[in-house]
């Protein structure tokens, strides 16, 4: 029975596989040939671990989009293509009122 990998394990596995494909040191492997990765529809640059995740693929074009973004733009993903996992994180504030004291608390997630 196969165990499901955690997000961290998937990231490490993907980066190790990319490093094993080349005899170069990772920082000389040429992963950056296409430039800094950006979102095709929003123009926002990817950051953090997502840069390494996208560089570890064999991409020559630095623009990326979700399946839904491609569909909304009138395009179609080629059959058999595989996506690259991206880590999304967001800090939000939620206000909740303490029934006993009437105080409002703000929680960051």
Q: What is this structure's pTM? A: 0.58
pLDDT in tens, 60-78: 788 889 889 999 999 998 8
Average pLDDT score, the chain: 75
Q: CA 77, CA 67: separation in Å to the nearest integer?
A: 7
- The two tokens of residue 57 are 């693929």
Q: CA 41, CA 91: separation in Å to the nearest integer?
A: 23
* DSSP β-bridge partners for residue 64: 39
């Amino acid at each position: 029975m196969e165990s499901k990998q955690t997000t961290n394990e998937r990231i490490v596995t993907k980066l190790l596989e990319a490093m094993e494909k080349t005899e170069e040191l990772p920082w000389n492997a040429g992963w950056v040939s296409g430039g800094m990765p950006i979102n095709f529809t929003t123009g926002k640059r990817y950051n953090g671990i997502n840069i390494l995740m996208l560089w570890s693929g064999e991409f020559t074009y630095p623009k990326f989009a979700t399946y839904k973004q491609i569909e909304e733009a009138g395009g179609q993903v080629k059959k058999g293509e595989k996506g690259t996992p991206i880590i999304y994180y967001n800090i939000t504030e939620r206000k909740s009122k303490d029934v006993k004291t009437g105080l409002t608390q703000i929680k960051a997630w």
